[in-house]
Amino acid sequence: MRDPRAWATWVLTALVVASSTRNPLYVVLVLLSTMVVGGSCASDANQGRQAVIAPVRFAAVALPFAAVFNAATAHIGEVVFFRLPSHWPLIGGPWTGEAMLFGVVNGLVLTTIYSAFSAFNRAISVRDLIRLTPQAFHEAGVVLCVALTFVPQMTRNLRRIREAQAVRGHRVRGWRDWLPIVVPLLVGSMEQALSLAEAMVARGYGAVSERRQSIRTQVTLVIGLVTLLIGWSAYSLRAASPTWRWLAVVSLAVGGGVIAGVVIALGQEASSTVYRPRPWIMADTMGMVGCVAVWGVVLLGRGALYYTPYPHLSWPSFHPLVGVGLLGLLMPAILVGGARGV
Amino acid sequence: MEPFIYCENVTYTYPEAHAPALADVTLEIERGEFVLFMGPSGSGKSTMLRCFNGLVPHFTGGAIQGHVRVAGADPLRAGPQELSRIVGFVFQDPEAQFVMDRVEDEIAFGLENAAVPPEEMRHRVEALLAQMGLSALRDRPLETLSGGERQRVAIAAALVLRPQVLALDEPTSQLDPHSAQEVLQAVVRLNREDGLTVLLAEHRLERILPYVDRIVYLPGPGRPVVSGPPCDVLRFVDIELTPPLVTLGKALGWEPLPLTLAEGRRFARRVIPSPLPRHASRPPSRRTPPVLWVEDLSVSYRETPVLRAASLSVGSGELVALMGRNGAGKTTLLRAIVGLLPPHARQGRIWLNGERLDDWHTAEICRRVGYLPQEPDALLFADTVADELWVTLRNHGLASNPPISPPELLDRLGLRVQATAYPRDLSIGQRQRVALGAVTVTRPRLLLLDEPTRGLDYPAKRALGHLLRAWQREGSGVLLVTHDVELVAQIADRVVLLEGGRVLADGPPDAVLTSADIGPFAPQVAQVFPGSGWLTAEDVLRGVEKGK
């Protein structure tokens, strides 16, 4: 799987499923799936180890913290470890096993989210994501790219300047001592930004931005926004009445459609193209099929996913069909050629 | 028929400037020519190049008069965006011109903006990667490339819109000789094999003169621009701007002026039948204890060894040049001496005037050692030049009793007039000297300089050479890291050659600079008079004088 859209869907799916169940068995299943996928995205053995070690480290901090935090704030349950005087604000009252377990599950959910995002990060570069921006926002995308290129340059400059000041006996003691470091950094970055702007102009950038948006586009955009706004207010204020609800849905749809239309039209007008557009491949489709299975579980099997330790502890249930459905998240790792694709 | 490129009475003044940067320039350039723009710093070479693609005046602002035409287009009217299809432009600093972070994406950037269809884009990028020898690097992040590779990417990026002209503004001034050679060769190939018209502004003339069809000489304010074939123009050029071979040719009346080493050797055989050995013009190093003594220094970064048991010494009043390829460990050695490396990364012993330096703080070491890092701009932040010196004194707690009075030091640096100027407004050569002042105001016995001549033109280099000589005469030791063989030939007492973190050679300049270790980058004079022991044009002139 290599298409940024497919990966965005995958990470969204993982997030939704992780946050819609508190059944520890399912959460652990999802967590393990994201770790396996993260490992399969690794470019070398070290990164592969990191895909496992990093979430475990995260969990080592997140689980105890979440457990203690939940036990300290939710004083419900039958398995009571000890009691603090109940007039103490917040932490006063019984500290229970149920609350602690719920906290641990919350910690697991956090770890899963962390692990899913690290896998996503490893599979897709930020630049690939910027490529997802619609044509109409091409220039905003380029500006983001430039900013991303600038950050590592600034860190390098910062190191250089700190050393240069150190060799003239400079030591950082108070905030005033940052001046000799901040001034060259800012001035240097401005100079660099200026020469970059010059280089971009010399390479033909900016010819696009001189195109003036026609008054018609602007008016259409305003009409779309107003329609959308009317629909939204109708929906939130008068949702009880069926007539209003219909009106709201219709105007939401019309407003959204108009805005989408304007963006698409602007995109076609914009004169830029994408180098090496990555074609959607079979692996992407398969990855999506996996996500559909997971969504099926989330939407149809809500009851099966449900679990709570309150008011008294019970074993979480495990439904094999749900388990199989959730394993759809593993699809990117199973596909031939690894998750990176060819 | 209209010439391919022409300027007619072009006068241009930068915004808020009093005098014009270009005054009444008229010149013509034929299609397919290799044109060199030369002249001292600030004579308007960069400005001139920017007129051909419309950056002047569209990007810079200011007032321009006259006419410019490039391949039938009018850059002054059409502006740089439109001219990007006719003139590809490469800038001085490879770091400051990249938009993307990967080689391939960077090259494609211009095409994406020009809305070239993806299929066509792939063809063009592929062809350019092959042409510039970058195919193996296509997926590499730009920050992992060497300076020479980056400039080749910049050239590829400039060529992707298929311009008929390639303009390069001092593309090699930030590079070491190997990378510079690599870039210049690529440019020569584009001109010879693909018929591209090349406009090149350069200080480093030694290796480029043989390929040049025309020189445009910008002598500076108040003097007219000269344009024509190299031999004719070089006659007008100030002797201090020319490479040693041309200087020699002019002094000895060689006609036509030799531009290549082969031509030089022909004259050398004819004019001087038996060259005299170089006489020892420098005092032999005294037997006093060295100012700096480095013994068996090893340094590793992330388990990769950078220095392997390197040893060297600098005597009092001695100027030692430290040379070697990029990555040989030269800068690391200097950083280790002033304590900028974590203690666990280095092994070995360093003595300064007989005292072990190992666990000293950088600030303490730098009160006794003047260290000038590669980028002088990283030092400068004060409001005036004089303030920069006072800041260092205050840092060291020496402000009440300075070892050398700042006005006196500024005098010696030739910066008396600029004492109240804002440092960053000065020329690169002057900024370099301000930075030098900021690290030497503690009157150190030892000076460490990291490539101080990078980006300097010949006169600025000469001024720096004089300054170092004066310091040396007063008994300071100098350790100079440089790639500049001609400078080393002129001022060094001893040369240490590093290779892969080891000391490969350590000896007098005439022995080390003419050995095989230095490769094809020996001084021009040594190559023209092999076996003579001569290194500089002065050596030859003195030798010829004696031989008569």
Same structural domain, B509 and B521: no
Sequence-distant (≥ 6) Cβ neighbours of residue B192 within 8 angstroms: B211
| B392 with A169: Cβ contact below 8 A | yes
Q: Measure the CA–CA gap between A197 and A189, rounded to whole angstroms.
A: 12
Residues in chain A: 342
Nearest-neighbour CA in chain B from A34: distance (Å): 27
Q: CB A127 to CB B378 under 8 A?
A: no
Tell me, yes or no, whether B283 lies in a domain.
no
Residue of B110, B191, B197 lying closest to B156 (CA atoms): B110
Which residue in chain A has the smallest CA separation from B116?
A: A273
Same domain, B192 and B329: no
**Cβ-defined contacts of B264-270 (< 8 Å, 24+):** B264/B524, B264/B528, B265/B528, B268/B528, B268/B529
- pLDDT of A243 higher than 70: yes
Tokens of B39: 């002249």
Is residue B286 one of the residues assigned to a domain? no
Mutate to test the interface with B, among A168, A181, A186 (most CBs of B within 10 A): A168
Rounded distance between C-alpha atoms, residue A148 and residue A155, angstroms: 12
The b/e string for B399-422 (b: 16+ C-beta within 10 A; e otherwise) is: eeebeeebeebbebbebeebbebe
pLDDT band for A209, please (50, 70, 90 cuts). Answer: very low
Q: What is the mean pLDDT of residues B378-406?
A: 91
If we measure between CA atoms, which residue out of A97, A106, A104 comes closest to residue A77?
A97
CATH number of the domain where residue B376 is located: 3.40.50.300
What are the CA-CA distances from residue A221 to residues A189, A267, B103 (Å)? 37, 14, 38
- Residue B140 DSSP label: S
Q: Which long-range contacts (CB under 8 A, 24 or more apart) does B15-24 make?
A: B15/B60, B15/B61, B15/B62, B17/B62, B19/B221, B21/B47, B22/B47, B22/B48, B22/B51, B23/B221, B23/B222, B24/B66, B24/B224
Q: Note whether B349 and B315 are same-domain residues.
A: yes
- Specify whether the CB–CB gap between A143 and A175 falls below 8 A: no
Using the beta-carbon criterion (under 8 Å), do A203 and B366 form an inter-chain contact? no
pLDDT at A341: 41
Same domain, B130 and B73: yes
- B55 CB neighbours in chain A (<8 A) are 198, 201-202
Residue B396 near chain A (CB below 8 Å) = yes
pLDDT of residue B518: 67
Secondary structure (3-state) at B242: coil
Helices within B160-216 (DSSP H only)? 177-194
Confidence of residue B520 (pLDDT cuts 50, 70, 90): low
pLDDT higher than 90, residue B90: yes
Is B494 in the same domain as B527? Answer: no
Structure-token pair, residue B254:
């060689």
pTM, whole model, 2 decimals?
0.78
The Cα–Cα gap between A38 and A48 comes to: 8
Residue of B nearest to A208 (CA): B113
- pLDDT tops 70 at residue B507: yes
Cβ pair A201:B118 closer than 8 A: no
Residue A211, Cβ density class (10 Å: 0-12 exposed, 13-18 middle, ≥19 buried): exposed
Q: What is the spatial distance between Cα B370 and Cα A287, in angstroms, rounded to a whole number?
A: 61
Query: B435 with B382: CB under 8 angstroms?
Result: no
Residue of A nearest to B121 (CA): A275
Q: How, if at all, do strands B355-356 and B346-352 pair?
A: antiparallel
Please state the rounded mean pLDDT for residues B351-376: 89
Position B547 scores a pLDDT of 61
Does residue B59 sit in the same domain as residue B160?
A: yes
Q: What region does B508 belong to: left with phi over 0, alpha with psi -120 to 50, or beta?
A: beta
Query: Which residue type does A161 have?
Result: I
**Contacts for B543-547: CB closer than 8 Å, 24+ residues apart:** B543/B272, B543/B275, B543/B276, B543/B278, B544/B252, B544/B271, B544/B272, B546/B276, B547/B272, B547/B274, B547/B275, B547/B276
Contact B70, B6 (CB under 8 A): no
Which residues on chain B are in Cβ contact (under 8 Å) with A165? 378-379
Which residue in B84, B335, B380 is closest to A203 by CB distance?
B84
Q: Are residues B400 and B534 in the same domain?
A: no
Closest partner residue to B115 (CB to CB) among A199, A200, A271 is: A271
Q: What residues of chain B, 70 to 99, have a C-beta less than 8 Å from chain A?
A: 80-82, 84-85, 89, 91, 93, 95-99
CB crowding A14-33: b at 16 or more within 10 Å, else e: bbebbeebbbbbbbebbbbb
Interatomic CA distance for residues B129 and B312, integer angstroms = 43
Q: Give the per-residue pLDDT at B99.
A: 84
Question: Where is pLDDT greater, at A294 or A176?
Answer: A294
Q: What is the pLDDT of residue B288?
A: 66
Beta carbons of A204 and B84 less than 8 Å apart: yes
* Cα(B418)–Cα(B416) distance, integer angstroms: 5
Percent of chain B with pLDDT over 90: 47
Residues B306 and B420 in one domain: yes
pLDDT in tens, B212-225: 999 999 998 888 99
Q: Render pLDDT for B265-306 as a digit per residue (tens, 0 to 9).
A: 888 887 664 555 554 445 545 556 789 999 999 998 877 889
Cα A321 to Cα A241, A277, A304, distances in angstroms: 40, 38, 10
Residue B504 has pLDDT above 80, yes or no: yes
CA distances from B449 to B319, B358, B388, B438 (A): 11, 21, 18, 13
| Selected residues 401-460 of chain B with any CB under 8 Å from a CB in chain A | 424, 438-439, 442
Which of A168, A202, A205 has its CB closest to that of B439? A168
| Residue of B166, B395, B398 best to disrupt the A interface, most CBs of A under 10 A | B395
- How far is Cα A272 from Cα B135, in angstroms, rounded to an integer? 25
| A&B contacts, CB < 8 Å | 159
CA distance, residue B81 to nearest chain A CA (Å): 4
User: Are B233 and B248 part of one and the same domain?
Assistant: no
Question: Of all residues in chain A, what percent carry a pLDDT higher than 70?
Answer: 91
| B73 DSSP assignment | B
pLDDT in tens, B102-134: 899 899 988 888 888 888 999 999 999 999 999
Distance from the B216 Cα atom to the nearest Cα atom in chain A, whole angstroms: 23
8 Å CB contact between A132 and A8: yes
Residue keyed to tokens 């001219």: B83
- Distance CA(A129)–CA(A152), nearest Å, equals 19
Cis preceding-peptide flag for B57 (omega within 30 of 0): yes
More confident residue, B513 or A238: B513
Which of A153, A154, A167 to probe by mutation at the B interface, max B CB count within 10 Å? Answer: A167
**B139 pLDDT more than 50:** yes
The pLDDT of A275-292, averaged and rounded, is 83
CB A184 within 8 A of CB B376: no
Within this chain, do residues B38 and B174 fall inside the same structural domain, yes or no?
Answer: yes
Answer with the residue of higher pLDDT: B169 or B326: B169
Mean pLDDT within A216-230: 85
Q: Are B529 and B540 in contact (CB under 8 A)?
A: yes
Is the same domain home to B175 and B311?
no
| DSSP 3-state of B495 | strand
Average pLDDT value over all residues in chain B: 88
Residues 510-529 in B contacting A (C-alpha not used; CB under 8 Å): none
Using the beta-carbon criterion (under 8 Å), do A164 and B113 form an inter-chain contact? no
Domain total in chain B: 3
For residues B264 and B350, membership in a common domain is answered with: no
Please tell me the least confidently modeled range out of B26-35, B158-167, B411-420: B411-420
The pLDDT of residue A303 is: 76
Tokens (6 digits) for A39: 């490992």
Q: Find tokens 């009018």 and name the residue.
A: B74
Q: What angle do CA A129, A134, A138 make, to 5 degrees?
A: 85
Contact list in A for residue B338 (CB cut-off 8 A) is 167
The torsion of the CA quartet B161, B164, B170, B176, rounded to 10 degrees, works out to 70
Q: Determine the structural domain holding residue B252 and report its residue range.
A: 242-273+517-548
For residue A49 the two structure tokens come to: 């180890």
At residue A76, the pLDDT reads 85
The vertex-B30 CA angle with B28 and B35, nearest 5°, equals 80
Strand order in the sheet with B5-13: B22-29, B5-13, B63-70
Q: What is the CA radius of gyration of chain B?
A: 25
- What pLDDT score was predicted for residue B36? 96
With beta carbons under 8 A apart, name residues in chain B contacting A167.
338, 340, 362, 366, 371, 373, 439
Contact B109 A171 (CB under 8 A): no
